[in-house]
Structure 1
Amino acid sequence: MTVEGGNGSSFWEGVGQMALAAAILFVAVTFKDYGITWDEPLHLENGWLALEWYLSLGEDRRVLAFQNLYLYGALYDSVSAMAGAALPFDAYETRRLVGGLVGVAGLAAVRAQARELAGPRAGALAIVLLLLTPEWMGQAFSNPKDVPFATAAAWLGLFQIRLLRELPRQRLSTLLCFALAFGAALGIRVGGVVLAGPLAVGCLYWLARHMRVHPPATALREGAWAAARLLPAFGLAWLLMLGFWPWAQLEPVTRPFQVLAGFAHFPLEFSFPFAGRTLVSTDLPWWYVPVGFAVKLPEMTLLGLGVATLAGLRALWRHPMALTQERVGLAAAILLPPAIVIVAGTVLYDGIRHLIFLLPPLSVAAALGLDRLAAALTGPSLRERLPQAAILGAALLIVWAGSQVVTMIRLHPYEAIWYNRLAGGVAGAAGRFELDYWGSPLSEAASRLRNHVVAREGSAALVRPYRVRICGPHASALYFLPPTWKAVPDGKGEADFYLSFTRSSCGAVPPGREILRVKRMGVTLAYVLDLREQGISSDPP
Structure 2
Amino acid sequence: MLHSVAVRRFGARAFFGLLLVLGGLLVSDYGVSWDEPTDQRNGLVSLRYLADLTLGHEPYPIEQYRDSDHGVLFELPMTLVARYGLGLVGEQVDRDYYLIRHGLTFLLVLGGLGALYGLARLRLRRPGLALLPVALFVLSPRLFAESFYNAKDLLFLAVFTVGTFTLARLVQRPTLGRALLHGLATAAAVDVRLLGLLLIPFTLGLLLLAGLLPTPPGGPRPRQVGALAGAYLLAAAGATVAGWPYLWADPLSRLLLAFQRMSHFPWQGEVLYWGKLEQAQQLPWHYGPVWLLITTPVAYWLAAGAGLALAAIGLLRRPLERLRTFSGRLDLLFCGWLLLPFALVIGLHSVLYDGWRHLYFVYPALLLLAVSGGEQLWQRGRRSRWGWPLLLGLGLLAGLELGLTAVRMVRMHPQQQVYFSFLTNQQVEDNFERDYWGLAYRQGLEYLVRRHPTGPIYVAATEQTPLFNNLIWLTPADQQRIQLVAEPGPGRYYLFGYRAWPGAAPAGRGRAVYQVKADGLTILSVLYEP
Band of TM-score, shorter chain: 0.7 to 0.9
Does the 8 Å CA contact 2:52/2:60 hold for their aligned counterparts? no
CA distance in 2 between partners of 1:26 and 1:368 (Å): 27
Counterpart of 1:415?
Answer: 416
CA distance in 1 between partners of 2:507 and 2:24 (Å): 39
User: Does the alignment pair 1:26 with 2:26?
Assistant: no
Counterpart of 2:233?
Answer: 234
Q: Where do 1:36-435 residues align within 5 Å? A: 36-54=32-50, 57-59=53-55, 61=59, 64=62, 68-84=66-82, 85-86=84-85, 90-119=96-125, 120-166=127-173, 170-207=174-211, 209-210=213-214, 222-321=221-320, 322-323=322-323, 324-376=328-380, 381-382=383-384, 396=397, 398-421=399-422, 424=423, 428-435=427-434
- Opposite residue 267 of structure 2, the aligned amino acid is L
Stretch of structure 1 that moved more, 6-15 or 522-531:
6-15
CA distance in 2 between partners of 1:305 and 1:74 (Å): 33
Q: Deviations over 1:369-416 (max 9, x none)?
A: 122234346x5x34x878878976775554333222111111212212
Does the 8 Å CA contact 2:70/2:192 hold for their aligned counterparts? yes
CA distance in 2 between partners of 1:64 and 1:491 (Å): 37
Q: Deviations over 1:54-77 (max 9, x none)?
A: 455445855826852212121111
CA distance in 1 between partners of 2:295 and 2:144 (Å): 13
CA distance in 1 between partners of 2:419 and 2:64 (Å): 33
CA distance in 2 between partners of 1:356 and 1:340 (Å): 14
Does the 8 Å CA contact 2:271/2:500 hold for their aligned counterparts? no
Distance 1:82 1:358, change over 3 A: same
Task: Give the alignment's TM-score, normalised by structure 1.
Answer: 0.83
- Opposite residue 232 of structure 1, the aligned amino acid is A
- Opposite residue 483 of structure 1, the aligned amino acid is Q
Does the 8 Å CA contact 2:142/2:418 hold for their aligned counterparts? yes
- Opposite residue 431 of structure 1, the aligned amino acid is D
Distance 1:67 1:91, change over 3 A: farther
CA distance in 2 between partners of 1:441 and 1:300 (Å): 29
Distance 1:66 1:521, change over 3 A: farther
Distance 1:487 1:49, change over 3 A: farther
Number of positions where the alignment pairs a residue of Structure 1 with one of Structure 2: 507
Distance 1:511 1:126, change over 3 A: closer
Alpha-carbon shift at residue 522 of structure 1 (Å): 1.4
Does the 8 Å CA contact 2:459/2:485 hold for their aligned counterparts? no
Does the 8 Å CA contact 2:418/2:518 hold for their aligned counterparts? no
Stretch of structure 1 that moved more, 435-444 or 289-298:
289-298
Does the 8 Å CA contact 2:462/2:497 hold for their aligned counterparts? yes
Counterpart of 1:503?
Answer: 499
Give the 3-state SS of the residue equivalent to 1:75 in structure 2.
Answer: coil
Q: Deviations over 1:148-201 (max 9, x none)?
A: 1111100011111122223xxx21221122112111111112232123232234
CA distance in 1 between partners of 2:42 and 2:491 (Å): 32
Alpha-carbon shift at residue 486 of structure 1 (Å): 4.8
Task: Give the alignment's TM-score, normalised by structure 2.
Answer: 0.85
Give the 3-state SS of the residue equivalent to 2:285 in structure 1.
Answer: coil
Does the 8 Å CA contact 1:135/1:417 hold for their aligned counterparts? yes
CA distance in 2 between partners of 1:522 and 1:529 (Å): 18
CA distance in 2 between partners of 1:31 and 1:70 (Å): 29
Distance 1:7 1:319, change over 3 A: farther
- Opposite residue 450 of structure 2, the aligned amino acid is N
Q: Percent of counterpart pairs with the same letter?
A: 23
- Opposite residue 519 of structure 1, the aligned amino acid is K
- Opposite residue 467 of structure 1, the aligned amino acid is Y
CA RMSD after TM alignment: 3.4
Does the 8 Å CA contact 1:135/1:415 hold for their aligned counterparts? yes
CA distance in 1 between partners of 2:509 and 2:240 (Å): 52
Distance 1:451 1:315, change over 3 A: same
Alpha-carbon shift at residue 110 of structure 1 (Å): 0.9
Give the 3-state SS of the residue equivalent to 1:279 in structure 2.
Answer: strand
Distance 1:177 1:400, change over 3 A: farther
Distance 1:86 1:484, change over 3 A: closer
Does the 8 Å CA contact 1:468/1:485 hold for their aligned counterparts? no
- Opposite residue 41 of structure 1, the aligned amino acid is P
- Opposite residue 164 of structure 1, the aligned amino acid is V
Give the 3-state SS of the residue equivalent to 1:479 in structure 2.
Answer: helix
Distance 1:49 1:139, change over 3 A: same
Give the 3-state SS of the residue equivalent to 1:282 in structure 2.
Answer: helix
Does the 8 Å CA contact 2:297/2:421 hold for their aligned counterparts? yes
CA distance in 2 between partners of 1:229 and 1:173 (Å): 9
CA distance in 2 between partners of 1:437 and 1:105 (Å): 27
CA distance in 2 between partners of 1:418 and 1:401 (Å): 14
CA distance in 2 between partners of 1:480 and 1:112 (Å): 38
Q: Which runs of 5 or more structure 1 residues have no equivalent in the other structure? A: 455-459, 534-541
Give the 3-state SS of the residue equivalent to 2:74 in structure 1.
Answer: helix
CA distance in 2 between partners of 1:389 and 1:7 (Å): 36
From 471, 485, 488, the equivalent of 1:478 is 471
Does the 8 Å CA contact 1:73/1:186 hold for their aligned counterparts? yes
Alpha-carbon shift at residue 513 of structure 1 (Å): 4.0
Distance 1:63 1:148, change over 3 A: farther
- Opposite residue 120 of structure 2, the aligned amino acid is A
Give the 3-state SS of the residue equivalent to 2:452 in structure 1.
Answer: helix
Give the 3-state SS of the residue equivalent to 2:430 in structure 1.
Answer: coil
Distance 1:77 1:317, change over 3 A: closer
Stretch of structure 1 that moved more, 178-187 or 192-201:
192-201
Q: Which runs of 5 or more structure 2 residues have no equivalent in the other structure? A: 87-93
Stretch of structure 1 that moved more, 26-35 or 67-76:
67-76
Distance 1:165 1:41, change over 3 A: same
Does the 8 Å CA contact 2:142/2:419 hold for their aligned counterparts? yes
